[in-house]
RNA sequence: UGGGCCGUCGCCAAGCGGUUAAGGCACCGGGUUUUGAUCCCGGCAUUCGGAGGUUCGAAUCCUCCCGGCCCAGCCA
């Protein structure tokens, strides 16, 4: 607990719950739930909902359940269930109870019979097309189904036989009997149950009918004693139906549904359909590709759980359709890693530098602070030799204005070491710089050079002790702030979203790096040892984010 | 006159009839610095989509207008 999490900001949902608790509503209890459908991996948008639901519950010493909305067995799988549990835990939250909508299939069935007995539901034997036509349009009312007035007995019988598997998919549905002329299309006799003769991960082949979201969700909430059912804006139109179902059923618990805006993040795509497409069309290497907006992808990229929580806190909760800039996310991870990541030196695109006025075989050990502002982070040994590597962009034969790095005839500081001066450039026949021959000022170790100012400082790695490594650079997956606006997914993909560097050299201390350990490579950015591919024998680092760069190029 | 919802600084976002209209990100200066990082200090909405109205007083209440989002799955 070295660093405190940011102060909680007020938002309209917190205000509502505050009032409810103060008024003693629900006996002052607060119970929420995070209800994903297990049909894909969680993404940063889900993180917003997770932080909200668990956050609200935590704030009032309440409870938050993890509930899988598993009412559509065709799209759902155990792989996703497990992944979701891991992601929620990794984010740092503990659910009160783990539930499944399918736990309530028996109750749901009995409640549906209750609705039929009340003449509030009926079996419709129209085809899907007929149902759609009779629903009307946005501006025209619907027309009642010819099956709308079936007797209660017939409905009960038909519904039972639907359950018993006497009919094929699509032959009948159970509909609520509400108002075919409602301006709200969700109230035009919405479907409650459909026939689906498919195997369910948890209930097996017991059911040949499955309840719809609108019917299942409110009942599940009520069964679990949820007090505040938080969901995204597109469900606003469903709230009257949510309330209608619970009112007919006269449940003792009637949760309050409150809607908030889903997250939109620039240069990413947060629709599940599109994310699946990225994976299936192999635009990325998988759900956990470091370029993905999935929790597991961001984790692999090097985002920490705390940084994601911080992000969710910073963006707030409102009903505005807001677009969040990438800079917000990047600030969150930089803030945290700046405080916590040990510093190291790594050269991504090496040029050899020979310090000619040092004897052949010269070797020296320096002690470097692991963190410039935090002494408790300790020190490490860094070997210095006659030959070192520096990064190619830290040298310019013809420097741009205000360039502070190495230039022919000029001096620069090798970080933590001597000031060197470039005396000679050695190139190959194509003009590519192969080696720089430099001299050093022996009187500049730990002190400023006399009689002149040397502004530039560059990082380096001993050419004899450096360790070869692979470093993966990541850039936004899309070239457009709103990739959904592109003609196609591929048209918006950034061809430079992943750059793999195979000739990098890292300082020896990095030999001890463990998978998922974070570092700052000085002057370059924050990197993480790849969760899967990194080994001591062949190190692999992913760039999480660059350092802030205010050098006006 | 289909129904529902939203418009406060470039991007988020507090604000709920009396405040000099919070804060963060971004940006622009200046200082410290052996990371062009960090850190520090300063700047950044006489104005709240627009127009009317109510009021001693309006971003906050009312009316109209403008702009944007969602809904016609036997998906969630």
* Tens digit of pLDDT at every position of chain A (553 positions): 223 344 567 899 999 999 999 999 999 999 999 999 999 999 999 999 999 999 999 999 999 999 999 999 999 999 999 999 999 999 999 999 999 999 999 999 999 999 999 999 999 999 999 999 999 999 999 999 999 999 999 999 999 999 999 999 999 999 999 999 999 999 999 999 999 999 999 999 999 999 999 999 999 999 999 999 999 999 999 999 999 999 999 999 999 999 999 999 999 999 999 999 999 999 999 999 999 999 999 999 999 999 999 999 999 999 999 999 999 999 999 999 999 999 999 999 999 999 999 999 999 999 999 999 999 999 999 999 999 999 999 999 999 999 999 999 999 999 999 999 999 999 999 999 999 999 999 999 999 999 999 999 999 999 999 999 999 999 999 999 999 999 888 999 999 999 999 999 999 999 999 999 999 999 999 999 999 999 999 999 999 999 999 986 5
- Please give the Cα distance from A513 to A502 (Å, whole number): 18
CB A162 within 8 A of CB A113: no
With 0-12 / 13-18 / 19 or more C-beta atoms within 10 angstroms meaning exposed / middle / buried, residue A137 is exposed
Are β-strands A264-265 and A323-324 bridged in parallel, bridged antiparallel, or unpaired?
parallel
Q: How far is the CA of A334 from the C1' of B41 (A)?
A: 22
Verify if strand B has an atom below 7 Å from the CB of A208.
no
Classify the C-alpha dihedral A244-A245-A247-A248 as positive or negative.
positive
* Neighbour count for residue A358 (Cβ, 10 Å): 20
pTM of structure: 0.96
Q: Among all strands, which nt has the closest C1' to A335 (CA)? A: B38
Question: Does residue A312 contact residue A329 with C-beta atoms inside 8 Å?
Answer: no
CA-nearest of A284, A432, A259 to A352 is A432
- Between the CA of residue A446 and those of A92, A324, A372, A440, what are the distances in Å? 43, 44, 15, 14
- For the segment 272-311 of chain A, residues whose CB is within 7 A of strand B: none
Nearest nucleotide from residue A325 CA, by C1' atom: B11
* Nucleic strand B near CB of residue A546 (< 7 Å): no
Catalytic positions of A, please?
37, 262, 272
Ordered alpha helix ranges (H), A225-317: 239-249, 272-280, 295-301, 305-315
CA–CA dist A23, A9 (Å, integer): 22
- A61 phi and psi, to 5 degrees? 60, 35
Q: Which nucleotides of B are covered by protein (CB under 7 A)?
A: 2-8, 10-16, 22-28, 34-39, 68-76
Cβ of residue A407 near strand B, that is under 7 Å? Answer: no
CA distance A312 to A387: 47
Nearest to A328, CA basis, from A264, A279, A373, A393: A264
Contacts of A264 (CB under 8 A, 6+ apart): A270, A321, A322, A323, A324, A482
Q: What is the pLDDT, as a whole number, of residue A129? A: 97
Residue of A120, A316, A331 lying closest to A215 (CA atoms): A120
H or E segment and range at residue A472: strand A467-474
Which residues neighbour A551 within 8 Å (Cβ) at sequence distance 6 or greater? Answer: A402
A168 touches strand B (CB under 7 A): no
Output b/e per residue, A490-500; b: 16+ Cβ within 10 A.
Answer: eebbbeebbee
Scanning every strand, the nucleotide with its C1' closest to A272's CA turns out to be B76
Distance B16 C1' – A17 CA (angstroms): 16
Query: Is strand B in 7 Å reach of the CB of A138?
Result: yes
Q: Which nucleotide is nearest to A523 (CA to C1')?
A: B35
Determine whether the distance from the CB of A449 to the nearest atom of strand B is below 7 Å: no
Residue nearest to nucleotide B33 (CA to C1'): A372
Pairing of strands A31-34, A518-521: unpaired
Rounded Cα distance, A136 and A148, in Å: 16
What is the distance between the alpha carbons of residues A534 and A516, in angstroms, rounded to a whole number? 9
| Rounded distance between C-alpha atoms, residue A184 and residue A58, angstroms | 35
Three-class SS string for A195-251? ECCCCECCCECCCCEEECHHHHHHHHHHHHCCCEEEEEHHHHHHHHHHHHHHHHHCC
ipTM of the complex: 0.97
pLDDT of residue A10: 86
Residues lying close to strand B (Cβ under 7 A), chosen from 49-108 of chain A, are: 69, 71-72, 75
Nucleotide nearest A195 (Cα, C1'): B74
CA/C1' separation A258–B56 (Å)? 39
Beta-strand relationship, A411-414 and A63-68: unpaired
Check if residue A218 sits with its Cβ under 7 angstroms from strand B: no
Q: How far apart are the first and last CA of chain A?
A: 39
Query: What are the CA-CA distances from residue A138 to residues A178, A183, A213, A244, A251 (Å)?
Result: 17, 8, 22, 21, 32
Distance A312 CA to B59 C1' (A): 26
Dist. CA A313–CA A58, nearest whole Å: 14
> Strand B contacts (CB < 7 A) among A residues 331-390?
331, 334-335, 338, 343, 371-373
Instruction: Please give the Cα distance from A396 to A210 (Å, whole number).
Output: 68
**Is the distance between the Cβ of A415 and the closest atom of strand B smaller than 7 Å?**
yes
Question: Would you say the C-beta of A8 is within 7 Å of strand B?
Answer: no
Q: How far apart are CA A414 and CA A523, in angstroms?
A: 12
Give the CA A484 to C1' B64 distance in Å.
35
Whether A315 CB is under 7 Å from strand B:
yes
Strand B close residues, chain A 462-491, CB < 7 angstroms? none
User: How many residues are listed for chain A in this entry?
Assistant: 553
Residue nearest to nucleotide B70 (CA to C1'): A234
Picking from A61, A67, A64, A66, the residue whose alpha carbon sits closest to that of residue A29 is A61
- Nearest nt to the CA of A193 via C1' is B74
Nucleotide with smallest C1' distance to residue A173 CA: B74
Q: Which residues lie across from A369 on neighbouring strands?
A: A379
Evaluate if the CB of A197 falls below 7 Å from strand B. Answer: no
């Amino acid at each position: 607990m070295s660093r405190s999490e940011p102060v909680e900001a007020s938002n309209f949902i917190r205000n509502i719950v505050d009032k409810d608790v103060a008024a003693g509503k629900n006996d002052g209890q607060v119970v929420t739930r995070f209800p994903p459908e297990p049909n894909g991996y969680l993404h940063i948008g889900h993180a917003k909902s997770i932080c909200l639901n668990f956050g609200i519950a935590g704030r009032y010493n309440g409870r938050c359940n993890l509930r899988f909305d598993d009412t559509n067995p065709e799209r759902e799988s155990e792989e996703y269930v497990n992944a979701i549990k891991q992601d929620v835990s990794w984010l740092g939250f503990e659910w009160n109870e783990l539930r499944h909508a399918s736990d309530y299939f028996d109750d749901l069935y009995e409640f549906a019979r209750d609705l039929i007995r009340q003449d509030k539901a009926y079996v419709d034997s129209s085809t899907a097309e007929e149902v759609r036509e009779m629903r009307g349009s946005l501006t025209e009312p619907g027309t009642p189904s010819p099956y709308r007035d079936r007797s209660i007995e017939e409905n009960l019988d038909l519904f039972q036989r639907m359950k018993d598997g006497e009919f094929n998919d699509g032959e009948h549905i159970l509909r609520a009997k509400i108002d075919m002329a409602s301006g709200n299309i969700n109230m035009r006799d919405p479907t409650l149950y459909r026939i689906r003769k498919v195997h369910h991960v948890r209930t097996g082949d017991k059911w040949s009918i499955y309840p719809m979201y609108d019917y299942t969700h409110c009942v599940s909430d009520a069964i679990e004693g949820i007090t505040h059912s938080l969901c995204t804006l597109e469900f606003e139109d469903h709230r009257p139906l949510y309330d209608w179902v619970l009112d007919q059923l006269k449940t003792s618990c009637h949760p309050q549904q409150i809607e908030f805006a889903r997250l939109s993040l620039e240069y990413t795509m947060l629709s599940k359909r599109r994310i699946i497409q990225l994976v299936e069309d192999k635009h990325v290497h998988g759900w956990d590709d470091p370029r993905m907006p999935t929790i597991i992808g961001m984790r692999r990229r090097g985002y920490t759980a705390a940084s994601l929580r911080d992000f969710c806190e910073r963006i707030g909760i409102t009903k505005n359709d807001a677009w969040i800039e990438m800079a917000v996310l990047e600030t969150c991870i930089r803030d945290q890693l700046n405080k916590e990541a040990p510093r190291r030196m790594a050269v991504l695109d090496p040029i050899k530098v020979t310090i000619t006025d040092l004897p052949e075989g010269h070797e020296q050990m320096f002690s470097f602070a692991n963190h410039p502002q935090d002494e408790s982070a300790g020190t490490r040994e860094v070997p210095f030799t006659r030959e070192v590597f520096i990064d190619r962009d830290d040298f310019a034969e013809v420097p741009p204005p205000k360039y502070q790095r190495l230039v022919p005839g000029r001096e620069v500081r090798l970080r933590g070491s001597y000031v060197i001066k470039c005396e000679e450039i050695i190139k190959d026949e194509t003009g590519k710089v192969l080696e720089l021959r430099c001299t050093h000022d022996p009187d500049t170790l730990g002190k400023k050079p006399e009689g002149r100012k040397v502004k530039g400082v560059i990082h380096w790695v001993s050419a004899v002790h450096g360790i070869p490594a692979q470093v993966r650079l990541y850039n936004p997956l899309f070239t457009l702030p709103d990739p959904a606006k592109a003609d196609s997914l591929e048209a918006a993909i950034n061809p430079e979203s992943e750059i793999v560097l195979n000739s990098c050299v890292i300082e020896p201390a990095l030999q001890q790096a463990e998978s998922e350990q974070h570092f700052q490579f000085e002057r370059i950015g924050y990197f993480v040892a790849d969760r899967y591919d990194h080994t001591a024998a062949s190190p692999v680092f992913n760039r999480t984010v660059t350092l802030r760069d205010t050098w006006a190029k």
